[in-house]
Chains A and B, each alone.
Chain A
Amino acid sequence: MNRFGRRLAVGYVLLALVFAVVGPWLAPYDPERPTADVLLAPSLDHPMGTDASGLDVLSVTVAAFRTDLLIAVCAVGISLLVGIVLGVLAGYSFGGSRVFRTVGVTVDRLLDIVQSIPVVILGLALVATFGRGVPSVVAAVAFVNVPVFARLLRASVKSVERSGMVQACRSIGLSERTTLRRHVLPNSLDSTLANGSIAVGTAILLTAALSFLGAGVRPPTPEWGALISNGANYVSTGQWWISVFPGLVLSVTVVTFAVAGEVIRAAVARSRGKAAAEDPTFEAIVQDEMRMP
């Protein structure tokens, strides 16, 4: 991915976030009120055509930014919080405490179990249990993402704990809690947080997938997966536009969130100064040292 591509991706993500806020007002037609103009092909009046109930596809697609992004961002936010807590429990030794060791192993196994169930099936089951609607989709998407973040954090907590820093904290007499709060967590969060943006992409995909399968938000809430599912019946009879346009927007959104996540991760890694030797001041420092008594 070259520099232009990366900028384009970040630009698109920002645009998507703007759409999520103002999308419904930008829509030329009401995205939720059916009209008599059913199954019109793309034209100047309806650039993406209309669907079987006469909804303007462009309007629904633009308005759906809010639904899909809201669900995805909320779900990722919740799973980040829960994942961080579980990741710490699973990863940190708390100074070799037996209780926390048991807790850690238990959390580990539970995450294993959750991860062993296919994501979409788990999501379907959750929505089936709690009923359709935005909150249950958020809960379902959040639930399947928790193990991802918990695993990431667990791994980085473990590697930070293995580094000398935690030993040093113990040897100067810091309590385990203080060590965890001040040193272990801040140094472990980087990769987990950067992964948040990537996860938003996959969360959008899962949201749409659930809707496509009929387990998503209630109609007529504008949503990409639901729209694609509606249009799927008409593709074979030639009305391709109902599924294709929202499908394109969905794909582009998922990919760009993943790319933006990579960009964020790279930026964070750079700012941490992974390679001190590249620091322009480094040579000067070495010379400082040579001159010292």
Chain B
Amino acid sequence: MSSPRLQIDELVIGAGEGDRSSTPVRGASLAIGAGEILGLVGESGSGKTLTGLACLGLFQPGVRPVSGTVTVDGQAISALPERERRKLRGPSVAMVFQDPLSSFHPGLTIGSQIVHSLLDRGVSRADAKKRCLEVLGEVGLPRPDAQAKRYPHQLSGGMRQRAMIALALANRPRVLIADEPTTALDPTVQAGILRLLRRLADDGLAILFISHNLGVVAGLCDRVAVMYQGQIVESGPTAELIGAPRDAYTKTLLAAAPTLPEPGELGIEAVPVDAPRVAAVVDVDAETALFDLRGVSRHFTTRSRGRRSTVHALDGIDLTIRRNTSVGVVGESGSGKSTLARLLGALDHPSTGQVSFDGQDIATLSKEQMRSFRRRVQFVFQDATSSLDPRYTIRDTLAEALSTHGVREPGEQSRRIAALLDQVRLPQQLLGRHPRELSGGQRQRVAIARALAPRPEVLIADEPVSALDVSIQAQVMEVFRDLAENDGLTLVMVSHDLALIRDVCDTLVTLYNGTIMENAEADTYYDQPRHPYSAALLDAMPNPRHIGRLPEVLALGEPADPTAPPSGCRFHPRCTQAQDLCASTVPLLRPEPGRELACHFPLQVAAPARKAEL
């Protein structure tokens, strides 16, 4: 390798003052050459972001460089005064952040922000405008001239991130720092951004890709560095590091990363479509049906600038959830997953249709019956931090849940609280702590323990681990699996991460734009997705085993606008299999062996038939 574009030598970064001081980065070294993508992996608090910012000579308030050098394109940025550093930002090194909405100025158009960044470097206005359109096209924004005139909030998440990358690339930097650029995006959208970054690197850009997701890193990066507690514990070529990790922490991280099976790997016997057997998922008698949804829709009316519009969060859902099964609800953001969960938990009411629990319409429950429903059906929320009262200790929180459902005798209460902590594998010493004194994973366990307090029959979990680090996700999912398998709980789990829920769920309901696309047994689903949308979701999932192979882009564009659902099959504008029929006729949910499917032209083979070009 010729001299590296970015070189970090023994970087030490300090934070805080006095007895609160700490050293979040302790002697990190790495180097990236032209055309190379280096993945910097670690969990929150490991020092990845601080290292990334230091490459631009930036330090958050209270954070300061202690020693070490950062060399960008041959110049030691760490040794320069701020005025000189500023000159390097843009032409030499630029950064892309996780949340483009908060990184853009909300009151200026995308185009003017890019133009400004060029004018600051002494480019003439005409040239700046030309370069702006050029770079917007380069990052794959359709019709750059139209996009340049739009404001950040008018773009979708994926488009906004592309615009952010365009802003970073405007001054033709030699090094790009990308800090979790796809973490906030749906996997289907993420795949496109990853491909863009790969293409930029192939054109000679050096990229430092900061991520907590090993699957993404495996597919994208040439080399990987693993950061733990401020130090780089292991680094090397991606295939070597992921194939044969040496460091104990790397091994833990890899073991915790969920993986999907390859199509056909599970060896599920392919059943001909016209087989006379009736699918198990739809063969439900009254005995086993716990939840029964008939024609359920949920519409929200919103008003913006005086114009009313209706958000079709859910439309015509027919679904049965059997006792003692665990059901995964999957789909992109905005597909109606959470709305469905809230309807099941009676935290919201359907606009039309009915939701029955144990044979009775939830809407007709008396006050007394509703209390019993609240005991039998419990909810775990995505954000444990906000779902716990910050003033209550863990003991108070659990005691409240118990006494609400009649367990008021102190001795009995303490016994139940101790048992609950064991059930979610939390040490008893934490009882006296407040939520802020717990880590994210511990908080979510407390929330689960609270949900288990009234000994419910059903647990509904809405993205319960998506806010947690990978290694902690695995631990919390273990708790859920245990509950579903050993305690006979009926589990409904909403997730956008198909790999994560694979071990937990028996069946998977795939939602798109508020309608069910496919409802299948989990093994069948993973092995032979037949709905093109299911296949797109599965293929977009990053997989640590796919070294050097990026997820496919099978779903075109971005999720449909829920205020204006497409005609016919809602997925048809993005579907690679779509034909005229799909645009005109709504496909009905038809039973098939092992699944229900709403598609006119389901995939016949497990492997994707066609690939979309970026």
Known: A163-B386, A280-B20, A286-B45. A171 touches B438 (CB 8 A): no
> Which A residues are in CB contact (< 8 Å) with B570?
none
> Which A residues are in CB contact (< 8 Å) with B22?
283
Pairwise interchain contact A279-B391, C-beta atoms closer than 8 A: no
> Which A residues are in CB contact (< 8 Å) with B345?
171
Pairwise interchain contact B391-A186, C-beta atoms closer than 8 A: yes
> Which A residues are in CB contact (< 8 Å) with B277?
none
Q: How many A-B residue pairs have CB under 8 A?
A: 91
Pairwise interchain contact B439-A289, C-beta atoms closer than 8 A: yes
Pairwise interchain contact A293-B425, C-beta atoms closer than 8 A: yes
Pairwise interchain contact A289-B379, C-beta atoms closer than 8 A: no
Pairwise interchain contact A164-B381, C-beta atoms closer than 8 A: yes
Number of interface residues of A (CB under 8 A): 31
Pairwise interchain contact A285-B439, C-beta atoms closer than 8 A: yes
B489 CB–A CB distance under 8 Å: no
**Smallest distance from the beta carbon of A193 to chain B beta carbons, Å?**
14
**Smallest distance from the beta carbon of B417 to chain A beta carbons, Å?**
14
A171→B342 CA distance, assembly (Å): 10
A281 CB–B CB distance under 8 Å: yes
From A68-76, A106-114, A270-278, give the one contacting chain B: A270-278
From B98-106, B447-455, B499-507, give the one contacting chain A: B447-455
B590 CB–A CB distance under 8 Å: no
Pairwise interchain contact A172-B388, C-beta atoms closer than 8 A: no
A292 CB–B CB distance under 8 Å: yes
Residue of B nearest to A166 (CB): B387
Pairwise interchain contact A172-B381, C-beta atoms closer than 8 A: no
> Which A residues are in CB contact (< 8 Å) with B475?
289, 292-293
A170→B405 CA distance, assembly (Å): 13
Known: A164-B381, A285-B437. A172 touches B386 (CB 8 A): no
> Which A residues are in CB contact (< 8 Å) with B442?
285, 288-289
Partner of A168, one of B391, B447, B471: B447
Partner of A286, one of B20, B375, B405, B439: B439
> Which B residues are in CB contact (< 8 Å) with A165?
386-389
A187 CB–B CB distance under 8 Å: yes
A174→B390 CA distance, assembly (Å): 17
A183 CB–B CB distance under 8 Å: yes
B343 CB–A CB distance under 8 Å: no
A290→B441 CA distance, assembly (Å): 10
Known: A165-B386, A278-B20, A292-B475. A170 touches B347 (CB 8 A): yes
A163→B345 CA distance, assembly (Å): 17
A288→B438 CA distance, assembly (Å): 10
> Which A residues are in CB contact (< 8 Å) with B471?
290
> Which A residues are in CB contact (< 8 Å) with B19?
280
B378 CB–A CB distance under 8 Å: yes
A251 CB–B CB distance under 8 Å: no
Pairwise interchain contact B381-A187, C-beta atoms closer than 8 A: no
A35 CB–B CB distance under 8 Å: no
Contact with A along B30-51 (1 / 0, CB 8 A): 0000000000000001000000
A293→B441 CA distance, assembly (Å): 13
Residue of A nearest to B45 (CB): A286
Pairwise interchain contact A276-B454, C-beta atoms closer than 8 A: no
- Residue among A173, A277, A279 having the largest count of chain B Cβ atoms under 10 Å: A173
- In residues 405-438 of chain B, which contact A (Cβ within 8 Å)? 405, 425, 427, 434, 436-438
Known: A276-B436, A285-B438, A286-B439. A171 touches B386 (CB 8 A): no
> Which B residues are in CB contact (< 8 Å) with A276?
436-437
- In residues 244-293 of chain A, which contact B (Cβ within 8 Å)? 272-273, 276-283, 285-286, 288-290, 292-293
> Which B residues are in CB contact (< 8 Å) with A164?
381-383, 386-387
A286→B439 CA distance, assembly (Å): 6
Partner of B387, one of A167, A285, A290: A167
Known: A173-B375, A187-B391, A285-B437. A168 touches B450 (CB 8 A): yes
Pairwise interchain contact B390-A171, C-beta atoms closer than 8 A: no
Pairwise interchain contact A292-B436, C-beta atoms closer than 8 A: no
**Smallest distance from the beta carbon of B284 to chain A beta carbons, Å?**
26
- Residue among A164, A165, A168, A272 having the largest count of chain B Cβ atoms under 10 Å: A168
Pairwise interchain contact B389-A183, C-beta atoms closer than 8 A: yes
Pairwise interchain contact B379-A281, C-beta atoms closer than 8 A: no
> Which B residues are in CB contact (< 8 Å) with A292?
425, 475
A171→B386 CA distance, assembly (Å): 14
B150 CB–A CB distance under 8 Å: no
Pairwise interchain contact A174-B378, C-beta atoms closer than 8 A: no
Pairwise interchain contact B371-A173, C-beta atoms closer than 8 A: yes
Pairwise interchain contact A171-B374, C-beta atoms closer than 8 A: yes
Pairwise interchain contact A172-B378, C-beta atoms closer than 8 A: yes
B401 CB–A CB distance under 8 Å: yes
> Which A residues are in CB contact (< 8 Å) with B20?
278, 280
- In residues 164-199 of chain A, which contact B (Cβ within 8 Å)? 164-165, 167-168, 170-174, 182-183, 186-187
B319 CB–A CB distance under 8 Å: no
B472 CB–A CB distance under 8 Å: yes
**Smallest distance from the beta carbon of A174 to chain B beta carbons, Å?**
6
Known: A281-B437, A286-B45, A290-B471. A172 touches B454 (CB 8 A): yes
- In residues 384-399 of chain B, which contact A (Cβ within 8 Å)? 386-391
- In residues 183-230 of chain A, which contact B (Cβ within 8 Å)? 183, 186-187
Partner of B374, one of A172, A277, A283, A289: A172
> Which B residues are in CB contact (< 8 Å) with A186?
391
B584 CB–A CB distance under 8 Å: no
A285→B440 CA distance, assembly (Å): 10
Pairwise interchain contact B437-A168, C-beta atoms closer than 8 A: no
A273→B411 CA distance, assembly (Å): 32
Contact with A along B357-381 (1 / 0, CB 8 A): 0000000000000010011001101
B3 CB–A CB distance under 8 Å: no
B567 CB–A CB distance under 8 Å: no
Known: A171-B379, A172-B453, A280-B20. A273 touches B436 (CB 8 A): yes
Contact with A along B467-494 (1 / 0, CB 8 A): 0000110010000000000000000000
> Which A residues are in CB contact (< 8 Å) with B427?
288
> Which B residues are in CB contact (< 8 Å) with A174?
400, 404
**Smallest distance from the beta carbon of A249 to chain B beta carbons, Å?**
39
Residue of B nearest to A170 (CB): B347
Partner of B389, one of A187, A280, A282: A187
- Residue among A276, A277, A282, A293 having the largest count of chain B Cβ atoms under 10 Å: A276
Interface pairs (9), CB distance under 8 Å: A163-B386, A165-B388, A167-B379, A167-B381, A168-B447, A171-B378, A272-B390, A278-B16, A286-B45
Q: Which B residues lie at the A interface, using CB under 8 A?
A: 16, 19-20, 22, 45, 345, 347, 371, 374-375, 378-379, 381-383, 386-391, 400-401, 404-405, 425, 427, 434, 436-439, 441-442, 447, 450-451, 453-454, 471-472, 475
Q: A285-B438, A290-B471 are in contact. List 18 more A-B contacts (CB 8 A).
A: A164-B387, A165-B387, A168-B379, A171-B378, A172-B400, A172-B401, A172-B450, A173-B371, A173-B374, A173-B375, A173-B405, A173-B454, A186-B391, A273-B436, A273-B437, A279-B437, A282-B437, A285-B439
